[in-house]
Structure 1
Amino acid sequence: MLDEKGRLFGKINIIDLLVVLLVLVVAVVVAVKLLGGGEGLPGGESGSTKLTYIVEVDGVKPEVYENLKSYVEQEGGDQLMASGDMLDAYVTGVTAEPHEEVVSLNTANGQITLPTEPGLLDLTFTIESNVVNAVTNEVGTQEVRIGKTHTVKTVHFELVNGVITDCQWGDGE
């Protein structure tokens, strides 16, 4: 197969053949990465998966709730954004419950009860999104996992220090 000059079949140098094969493998890997092959899980349009999650934000002033409610209640909800980009995610519901007006602390000398600002609300947001990768569950720049803190940010409002309390993948059927 190899002749005295190291050529395969008398025409191709074995080193040149290895370099050509290596370039082809690198080109295929780059093409797969750029075209998004193998990314995402089946179940949604164009490889995306529907993710519905609940975020609870505690201690919000009632006027903030009243002002943001109309945006969430519009048809389709209020679209989320991150870093100036609109996301494939929408706040589709919000409810309010009265916030506890005292905080209890256990100390070495017993329990201390401290008052908090009266009249605050605990808001619960329902967010529906389409994620490309159901393993990382990234919505914009935030990973969605039960127990993680989450910022609910739209064009119209932004509330920080929310906590994700529930996640449902797929249509929930």
Structure 2
Amino acid sequence: MIPIDEDGNLFGKVNIIDALIVVFIVIGALGVAGLLLNDDSGREDEVKATIEVQVNGVHPYVADAISEGPVDESVVVAVVNKTVEPTRTVVKSENGTLREQSHPQKRTIQLQLTVNATSSQDELLLQGEPLEIGRSVHFDLGKTTVNGTITRLDVDGNRSSR
């Protein structure tokens, strides 16, 4: 049995040309609907950001383990700059007054880092959390890991600091 008869009807009921036209119209409508319903608002774009992080009260060997230059980690791209100072601490003097002095061992590190961040819906994210000044962060810098506080943020030339 041949599925198309001498009138061009498929199985004697539907004209094959009409059926193809309907199929193309349905495919076209689904394609247009897919384009219109495709929402890019949840799309995340990777951006490079330069941040400054203050790391307080670390041992000198931790400060020495951080070197300027590229870092082979997914979040931190490079340590751009590093400054190390003695950590300032408040102590009580013999007469009971408080005074500030340098800690004999602990160090405070200021790091300028280039990091991989993501931009999503007008929000900048670092490690899945909002990238903002004052936020505590944990970084793997290859030879060592540090916890610090973001003190400055620069994305695409827009600089913020506290």
Q: What SS is found at the alignment partner of 1:156?
A: coil
1:158 counterpart letter in structure 2: T
* Equivalent residue in structure 2 for 1:141, among 122, 128, 135: 128
Distance 1:142 1:155, change over 3 A: farther
Q: Deviations over 1:32-89 (max 9, x none)?
A: 46xx67846xxxxxx6543211010100111111122xxx324xx224x4xxxx2363
* Cα contact 2:76–2:113 (8 A) shared by 1: no
What TM-score do you get using the length of structure 2 for normalisation?
A: 0.59
Q: Which residue of 2 aligns with 1:28?
A: 35
Q: Which residue of 1 aligns with 2:78?
A: 90
* Cα contact 1:101–1:118 (8 A) shared by 2: no
* Cα contact 1:95–1:124 (8 A) shared by 2: yes
Q: What SS is found at the alignment partner of 1:28?
A: helix
- Residue 131 (structure 1) aligned with residue 117 (structure 2): yes
Q: Which of the two has greater strand per residue? A: 2
Distance 1:100 1:115, change over 3 A: closer
- Residue 151 (structure 1) aligned with residue 138 (structure 2): yes
* Cα contact 2:76–2:140 (8 A) shared by 1: no
Distance 1:88 1:61, change over 3 A: closer
Aligned pairs (5 A) from 1:1-173: 25=33, 27-28=34-35, 32=38, 39=43, 48-68=46-66, 72-74=67-69, 77-79=70-72, 81=73, 86-87=74-75, 89-102=77-90, 118-133=104-119, 135-160=122-147, 162-171=148-157
Q: Which residue of 2 aligns with 1:107?
A: none
2:155 counterpart letter in structure 1: W
Q: Give the structure with higher Rg (CA).
A: 2
Counterpart CA distance in 2 for 1:37 and 1:163 is 30
What percent identity do the matched residue pairs reach?
A: 19
Q: What SS is found at the alignment partner of 1:150?
A: strand
What TM-score do you get using the length of structure 1 for normalisation?
A: 0.56
1:28 counterpart letter in structure 2: L
* Cα contact 1:89–1:139 (8 A) shared by 2: no
Cα RMSD for the two superposed structures:
4.1
Counterpart CA distance in 2 for 1:143 and 1:126 is 18
Q: Using the TM superposition, name which of 131-140 and 113-122 deviates more.
A: 113-122
Question: Number of paired residues?
Answer: 131
